Amino acid sequence: MQRPLSPFMFPIWYRFQITSALSILHRLTGMGLTVGSIALAWWLFAVAAGGELFDATHTFLASPIGVLLLFLWSVAFFFHLCNGIRHFAWDLGRGFEIHTARHSAYGVLASTIVLTALAWLAVWLI
């Protein structure tokens, strides 16, 4: 018998729910941030090395692709941070009611947008 495998139930076996969407987004943003952590190590290495390596790294980060990557990492970071705090509330046994879990999900999305906007407004306006 071909049973559905849990990671791949989303589009076929389950209807869309904000809670399950955020659950998989938490994992996806975690994976994105893991890739970002490689860039973090590279950046620290480049700062320590200085010279041409740092210049090349800085030029790449300031390029459109670099800024796009930094923007995506900032979205992933603020989402993972906010949803991680939501997970802490669950670890403490709070917020398990369906309507609370839905409300906190929208709260996480709203906080992500606000924090990302604040961070980039600070970069562009200051």
Which residues of this chain interact with another protein, rule CB under 8 A? Answer: 7, 27, 30-31, 33-34, 37-38, 40-41, 44-45, 47-48, 50, 74, 77, 81, 84-85, 87-88, 91, 119, 122-123, 126
Cβ closest to another protein, residue 98 vs residue 126: 126
Closer residue to another protein in complex, CB, 77/108:
77
Residue by residue, DSSP assigns 9-60 as -HHHHS---HHHHHHHHHHHHHHHHHHHHHHHHHHHHHHHH-HHHHHHHHHH
* CB 116 within 8 Å of CB 73: no
The distance of closest approach from Cβ of residue 99 to another protein in the complex, given in angstroms and rounded to an integer, is: 25
Residue whose pair of structure tokens reads 């609370």 in the numeric block = 100
**Phi then psi dihedrals of residue 96, to 5 deg:** -85, -15
Least distance in angstroms from the C-beta of 123 to another protein: 5
Q: How distant is the alpha carbon of residue 53 from its chain centre?
A: 28
Between 87 and 102, CB nearer to another protein: 87
- CB nearer to another protein: pick between 73 and 105: 73
